Amino acid sequence: MEGGSDNSAAGAFFNSSLIGDVVKVVHSKEKAVAPDNGLGGWNLPWANW
C-alpha cells in the first residue's frame, strides 16, 4: 500500500510533522486563501491586524 505507508512521501510527511507546522503549497490551481478569513490571520501584517 503506497499511499499512506511509512515508506511513501505522504507517510514520511505525516510521521515527521506536527500540528501547527507551516506548509507552503506550490503549483496549485486553487486560489490563495484570504488572510482575513479566520484561518490564516497569522499571514496578516501587524499593521493590518
Domain-embedded: residue 3: no
Domain-embedded: residue 35: yes
Confirm whether pTM is higher than 0.75: no
Domain-embedded: residue 5: no
* pLDDT at res. 3: 55
Tens-level pLDDT at each residue, the chain (49 residues): 455 677 888 888 888 999 889 888 888 887 777 766 766 667 677 787 7
Domain-embedded: residue 28: yes
Domain-embedded: residue 9: no
Domain-embedded: residue 31: yes
* pLDDT at res. 4: 65
Domain-embedded: residue 38: yes
* pLDDT at res. 39: 67
Residue 35 CA to residue 48 CA, distance in Å, equals 10
* pLDDT at res. 12: 87
Which residues span the domain enclosing 45? 24-49
Q: How many domains does the chain have?
A: 1
Q: How many residues does the chain have?
A: 49
Domain-embedded: residue 6: no
* pLDDT at res. 18: 93
Q: Which residue shows C-alpha cell 500540528?
A: 19
